[in-house]
Amino acid sequence: MSATEKINVLFVIKPVQWSGADKVLLDVATSLNKDKYQVIFAIIGLHPSEEAVIPERFPQIRFDMPNLHGWRQAIFSLQLGWLIHKYNIKIIHMNSYHPGNYCRLAAFWARVPIIIDHWHGFNRFSLKRKILCRLYNSFTDLSFAVSELVGRYVQEQCGINPARLKVLYNAVDPALYEKTGRAAKVRQELGLPPEAQVVGLVARLDHRAKGHLELLQALSLLKDKHTVHALMVGGGRRQEEMRQLAASLGLGEVVHFLGNRRDVPDLLAAMDIFVLPSHSEGVSLAVLEAMAAGLPVIVSAVGGLPEIVHDGETGLLIPPKDPEALAQSLARVLEEPGLAQGLGQKARQQVLKKYSLERLGQVVNAAYDELVETKLRRRA
């Protein structure tokens, strides 16, 4: 391989209404040195209208396979192997557990020199999963984990060699979340009173693990003392269930279910406080976005969240599944403007220092370059 020849990298994503995990892979791809690496995307499943826009400079190959079960696994592996051969793929990078296991096996059969997987949270590992992951890890060159705790967890569950494990925190572009003066206009468009105090939660409503229930219960506890409007950003099958619950709690007029939105920076500008009372979490992109917007954040002390939110400094931490604690923290921030402002300012500074896309690019390119040097150039 010549020093000037670009190295073909295949990113494989299986979006679920374009999840945060897939956005992270897109961030990694766009952060790679474009003079050295040629990125190609393999996309499993959804229709393009339901996904974030992938830059045109990245070729895209689609697999019309919403589910990878049974015989579809074998067909997918064969098609992926053909794709690897056709495009002379030297590096493959994908999320784990799904579709990572199928991709890693196909990459191994196709003799891809460098195999990278990416861990975002706390998957449940049955005995079968543990055995499979330990097998696939034997020929995986690098595993990224989005936090120290996620890294330790998958290391314990999957037996990952610590030398092949690297923490790569999620990142955002702080410039997208600078104050633009659009807050008043966005509030007007949403029908919010100009003087309203607005709390926001950005997460899909497919299950209860993101804490929508706890937020509604906390708002119910506060409603006699504070008139707070809440923006629930994100679609999902439980949206109507939560809407009915809000109405039953007397919150129907102040809780706004906005569904899937592509204008999150503008919505964050309309908020005064951001909350994510998750039951489990790796490192939330939504929290980093809110911090970049200079919002005070209140999050559960679970997973990797305490690694990015320092209690009383860049946000407030609460126990999971505890609406009373959430209500108390909300009341504290609502009643202490100085605290809210200080938390928001320090949160943005933290993102600028440690969780920017520039920082992510430095870590990713260094890791890629090291693998290329040891596994491609030296062998060549």
| Span 46-77, pLDDT tens digits | 655 555 578 888 998 888 776 666 677 778 88
pLDDT of residue 66: 63
pLDDT of residue 133: 87
ω before 97 within 30° of 0 (cis)? Answer: yes
How far apart are alpha carbons 222 and 276 in whole angstroms? Answer: 17
How far apart are alpha carbons 163 and 149 in whole angstroms? Answer: 16
| Domains by residue range for the chain, with CATH | 7-171+356-377 (3.40.50.2000), 174-354 (3.40.50.2000)
| Span 105-137, pLDDT tens digits | 889 989 999 999 999 988 788 898 889 889 889
Residue 232 in this model has a pLDDT that exceeds 80: yes
Match 């002379």 to its residue by tokens: 88
| Average pLDDT value over all residues in the chain | 90
* CB of 11 closer than 8 Å to CB of 42: yes
How far apart are alpha carbons 18 and 99 in whole angstroms? Answer: 14
pLDDT of residue 173: 94
pLDDT of residue 46: 60
| Span 296-344, pLDDT tens digits | 999 999 999 999 999 999 999 999 999 999 999 999 999 999 999 999 9
Q: What is the pTM of this model?
A: 0.91
CA angle, corner 295, sides to 291 and 297, nearest 5? 75
Burial (CB < 10 A; 0-12, 13-18, 19+), residue 267, is buried
Residue 380 in this model has a pLDDT that exceeds 70: no
Give percent of the chain above pLDDT 70. 93
